[in-house]
Structure 1
Amino acid sequence: MKKIGLLIILLIVITLPFTLWLIKETTPLEIVVVDKTVPKKDYREHNGLFILLNSKKIVKENGQSYDIGADYFGYDPYDQVPFPSYEVNKEADLLYIADSYGVYSDDLLDEPDGKRSKQIYGGMDLLEWNKIMESKTATTTLIAEFNSFATPTDAITSDIMQKNLGVEWSGWTGRYFADLASEEIPAWMINNYEAQTNEKWEFEGSGLGFVNLTDQVVILDDEYGQGDVNFELTNLGHEKFKTVDASKYMYWFDIISPLENSEILATYNLKVTDEGEKILQDAGIPTIFPAVIHQDKEKTYYFAGDYADFPNKALTKLVGAPELYKFLSSKETQFFWLTYFPMMGEILEEIKQEKER
């Protein structure tokens, strides 16, 4: 009998997180997601957002869970055709632009070689953006990430998007690379660097790579520091986000500045040597620049990085799972669990409270 009792207790303990998640109240929100960069069936460009929605039990107005493979506007990786384009939705509580870079012929290969290839689909269309802005009411929150208005979106549409989001793009994008000798380095970055410098790409170790709209490339290897990109809240950010921690950001970002009436909630701080800082300054690249820009009155956020891009799967139907993932996070996953997950959680809670008023 004692063994049976112990087994029952053990079973209760094991199933308790799932049971608590099951009885947790759902939150209905009308969320529109635009992701034009879905060449593969992993949906990684918006995967992080849907992990969050499932974990928080945020559902559609009809009570159904959000489906990562169906509830977005963009490209269908199964039939390899675009979904129907976005239409005006005045009921939207959140408009989330995850990515508009698009799909290219190289992306569809089993083993992409990283070379620039023919564009199949992508870029933000001005008509589509106008429909997104027409959908935005006084209570609707709009969030856009890198790459929403950069290449291949045309210059006119990009300028309008930047003004609507309260940001100005410098034309520079960058990324942290754990290994500058790995296959993760795009072939076009190597080719551009070698053409511009007349030097062979012989970098090793971690570092930073930057590319401008003009195709200018700047590389800082570990000779100039660890290349860490530190995400840090500003004073305003600390006031707004009570549960968000600093972390290391390890993917693509763009270098932007705020327009008038925009506030900086977080910054990136590049950890480089004095010589590395001089190289960046000569190219017009700052070492500290905005990561999150917010317009309070307009209810917009711009995330200067691929924040919802998360390549991993996660257990979502367990109460306490995010806290466990946070505790066990590695350098590669800490940004998602320490920073993005709680930040988006607070924003969604704010949207929920706004809706209940």
Structure 2
Amino acid sequence: MKYLGRKIVFFLIILIPFWSFLVWFFYPKTELPGLILDKTVLESSGVEHRSFNWITTNRKFVKPDGSQYEISEDYYGFFPVNRPEYVVKDLTVFNNADLDSMARDMEYVYYTDAYGVYTNEWVYGRDINERSRLVYGGLSEQSYKLFEKMFRNRKLTLTEFNNLASPTPLQLRFKMQRLLELDFTGWTGRYYHSLDTLLNPDIPGWMRRLHRYYYKKPFDYPDIPGMVFVHETERIFVLQMDKDVEHELPIINTGEYLIDQYNLPEFIRYPYWFDVCFAKDTNDVFSTYKIHTTERGDSIMASHHLPNEFPAIIGDHQEHLRWYFCGDWADSPTPFGLSYFKGVQFMRKFFYNNRDDLDRKKFFWEYYEPLVSGLFNDYIDVMDSLEGPRPLPPVHRNYIPYYRRYNIPLPDVDLIASGRVYNPNEVLGSEYKERAYRDSVLQAEREEASRTGYYIGQYGDTVFLTDKEMMELEEQTRYENSMQSRRDSIKRRRLDSVRGVGEFADPYRLIKIDSTYLRGGRIPVNIPLTKAEMKRRAQMKAAAEKAAQNRAEAIVDSMLDSESGASDTEFEEEDPAPQNEELSAGFNSTNNRPKSTRPILDKRYKLGGRLPSNFKAKDFKAPEEIDAMVYQGESPEPKEELPADNLSQENPNTTESQPEETEAPAQEAISENSGPRWHVIIASFPDKAMAEEFVRRKKKSMELLYVAANDTYRVSYANFEDRRSANKEVINLMTSYPDAWVLKVD
């Protein structure tokens, strides 16, 4: 008898999925008409809104006709057919009366993703991690109007990551920001389990190129976890595990209201894309992202005007009807088949790997599903008692937006949507979308014809090519390939010339700092010189070298004539003073002492500054690297910024040698220093007069230091007894002197 009982219990456990499905099948339906907007759909599975459809199916939310919401049909946005063919069902076909009717009849809207679809990933089927031109995407005016009308009618409105960023036009972004009472900073971030591009193919190519452009060095990091932050104005920085962050993943800290109301965990990891937004009203912040940074990581984030904790959920604290999720939360790989089982949430721990940091299914089961289900349950309880309309949120005039607060130029959304390549002859906007589709179809027909000898015509008929047409097509294809290769080569030459890297790097280039850009985070803009300017500078350089050689020979001749008959020993013992301007060239201009009484007759002698013997090109860092090194307490030898008053500075790339001196002068400071001091250096000059003129124009009390090893005069803004105080002063001076660094003087 006891064995029979065990068998019954065993079969009951085995049949649990069956009983769960039966309960779901007979569970009462809830009529809840609504709208899902998703413009980033590359396949019928609808990954970007899959998590939300899982909830509507599991909770038996149905349309007015009683049917369930289908992932591949019941949404507005991009509908893939057969590459490159597609169908768009957009809100742009509705007028104001239609939108009023929709806002009156529907109970919710959920804008999951407006990032869009691009030619590289849809038309050509190439790497989706590469930048390419926009085919379809971005919020439209009708999308905003519907969201606004739903808000006014006190309906449930939800949206999340990548509905405010490109390619949504700026004017619609500003409207949505006021409606959501938030401020989008333009920063997005993501966690990567490995920063090594060879081991982690998820790091996109455009991110690596942006890193090379911004820092003048490749995206070369070890095989360690980290986070990458990217700004829409093409700035980037990387936080590395142990060096910059103590915990490799962003942590979502949830407030008391959501914990008590929906039983959400207080802390949970989030391993995917997120954006940085600020709430205009702090009462609207229901949870936050926490980046557990080190002291160095805090400094890096502070240099880009970012805190290490920022909102994750921004909602309507008054009525709890408007919500913005600061991440790509609806994108989840959770199996959709589990939505047909009632009570499957109690078995959720069997459906994810808690030890895998990259497993986003845990975030869905433990956070997203109970949160969204709870929001809909609360709305269903009160939706019959809500009465509209209600006014728009206040303007918050005392709040200064991020872009205006730090004087950041607004991004060019059209350039971003066109692949970040500027071409004045390119057609942008809606006209370009039509042309992109037409060109993609022609390209597909041409590829099909070159492979099979026929293609499907405009009206569905099969068009066969003759032998002559095949030959012409092959010749045209070869010609276009060669022309494209030539254009790519020319473009690569130009980029290498402008950026000063690669095989075709231009040695004559001027680096200028754009002072209208963000204070404290400026991007070096490389301006190539014209051929005429290069020729003129080469001629001036040759003439200066010739004149210097002539002066040196004249000095030697005059000295030999005046000392004729004297022995080498007598010559060395004499220490004559300069008698004319020509002879003064042989004396040190710093202290009016002769460099050497014995002339040096080396034919390689050239006048000018020389580099120290231990100089290496890699010792000169970019401004961004200097900042990062200063946070570590190092004192680099940076590239000095050209001052605004056109004072020339020493060239760190000079490779010309000076005559060998009989003995190297000791390091000399213009001002007297007692004991070792840490000086904050803001500028460096090859000549004392230039340095004094720089200090005079700044009209501040500064100190001049002469560094004999580099033969330079450096301007000290202040000096301290310890390095920590000097580093703090460097951080305070980043706005005015972004290239400042710390130098120890004994």
> Under a length normalisation based on structure 1, what TM-score does the superposition of the two structures give?
0.92
Structure 2 CA distance for aligned equivalents of residues 309 and 14 of structure 1? 26
Q: Please name the residue that 2:295 is paired with.
A: 274
Structure 2 CA distance for aligned equivalents of residues 44 and 263 of structure 1? 29
Q: Deviations over 1:148-190 (max 9, x none)?
A: 1111111111010011011111111111112223111121111
Q: Please name the residue that 1:221 is paired with.
A: 240
Q: Please name the residue that 1:128 is paired with.
A: 143
Which secondary structure does the structure 1 equivalent of 2:25 belong to? helix
8 A Cα contact 1:92 1:136, kept in partner: no
8 A Cα contact 2:114 2:162, kept in partner: yes
Deviation at 1:30, TM superposition (A): 1.3
Q: Please name the residue that 2:68 is paired with.
A: 65
> Under a length normalisation based on structure 2, what TM-score does the superposition of the two structures give?
0.46
8 A Cα contact 1:76 1:82, kept in partner: yes
Q: Deviations over 1:252-294 (max 9, x none)?
A: 1111111237511000011222211211111112110000011
Q: Please name the residue that 1:100 is paired with.
A: 114
8 A Cα contact 1:261 1:295, kept in partner: no
Which secondary structure does the structure 2 equivalent of 1:316 belong to? helix
Deviation at 1:139, TM superposition (A): 2.9
8 A Cα contact 1:244 1:343, kept in partner: no
Deviation at 1:329, TM superposition (A): 2.5
Q: Please name the residue that 1:319 is paired with.
A: 342
8 A Cα contact 1:38 1:75, kept in partner: yes
Residue of 352, 367, 370 corresponding to 1:329: 352
Q: Please give the residue correspondences for 1:170-189 in structure 2 after superposition, counting only pairs within 5 Å.
A: 170-180=185-195, 181=197, 182-189=200-207
Q: Please name the residue that 2:256 is paired with.
A: 235
Higher-strand-fraction structure: 1
Q: Please name the residue that 2:268 is paired with.
A: 247
Which stretches in structure 1 are left out of the alignment for 5+ residues?
none
Which secondary structure does the structure 1 equivalent of 2:340 belong to? coil
Structure 2 CA distance for aligned equivalents of residues 343 and 37 of structure 1? 23
Q: Please give the residue correspondences for 1:294-309 in structure 2 after superposition, counting only pairs within 5 Å.
A: 294-297=315-318, 299-309=321-331
Q: Deviations over 1:184-225 (max 9, x none)?
A: 112111100111112221222221011112110111122323
RMSD value, Cα:
2.3
Residue of 187, 207, 213 corresponding to 1:195: 213
Paired AA for residue 107 in structure 2? D
Which secondary structure does the structure 2 equivalent of 1:190 belong to? helix
Q: Please name the residue that 2:131 is paired with.
A: 116
8 A Cα contact 1:245 1:338, kept in partner: no
Which stretches in structure 2 are left out of the alignment for 5+ residues?
386-746
Q: Please name the residue that 1:76 is paired with.
A: 79
Q: Please name the residue that 1:206 is paired with.
A: 225
- Cα distance 1:19–1:229, how it changes in 2: closer, same or farther (>3 A)? same
Using the aligned pairs only, state the percent identity: 25
Tell me whether 179-188 or 82-91 shows the greater mean CA deviation.
82-91
- Cα distance 1:306–1:33, how it changes in 2: closer, same or farther (>3 A)? same
The answer to whether 1:349 aligns with 2:349 is no
8 A Cα contact 2:108 2:150, kept in partner: no
Higher relative contact order (CA 8 A, sep 6+): 1
Deviation at 1:81, TM superposition (A): 2.5
Q: Please name the residue that 1:85 is paired with.
A: 91
Deviation at 1:113, TM superposition (A): 5.0
Paired AA for residue 350 in structure 1? D
The count of aligned residue pairs is: 356
8 A Cα contact 2:108 2:157, kept in partner: yes
Deviation at 1:111, TM superposition (A): 4.6
Structure 2 CA distance for aligned equivalents of residues 274 and 334 of structure 1? 30
Q: Deviations over 1:327-351 (max 9, x none)?
A: 5423422211111110001001012
- Cα distance 1:239–1:297, how it changes in 2: closer, same or farther (>3 A)? same
Q: Please name the residue that 1:167 is paired with.
A: 182
Structure 1 CA distance for aligned equivalents of residues 382 and 324 of structure 2? 20
Tell me whether 320-329 or 16-25 shows the greater mean CA deviation.
320-329
Paired AA for residue 82 in structure 1? V
Which secondary structure does the structure 2 equivalent of 1:107 belong to? coil
Q: Please name the residue that 2:25 is paired with.
A: 22
Which secondary structure does the structure 2 equivalent of 1:208 belong to? strand
Structure 2 CA distance for aligned equivalents of residues 145 and 19 of structure 1? 34
Q: Deviations over 1:12-41 (max 9, x none)?
A: 444111112122222211121111111233
Q: Deviations over 1:71-121 (max 9, x none)?
A: 111000125221142642121211111011110012225451522101000
Tell me whether 216-225 or 117-126 shows the greater mean CA deviation.
216-225
- Cα distance 1:187–1:11, how it changes in 2: closer, same or farther (>3 A)? closer
- Cα distance 1:153–1:286, how it changes in 2: closer, same or farther (>3 A)? same
Q: Please name the residue that 1:49 is paired with.
A: 52
Structure 2 CA distance for aligned equivalents of residues 259 and 327 of structure 1? 40
- Cα distance 1:98–1:278, how it changes in 2: closer, same or farther (>3 A)? same
Q: Deviations over 1:305-326 (max 9, x none)?
A: 0111113323111123223224
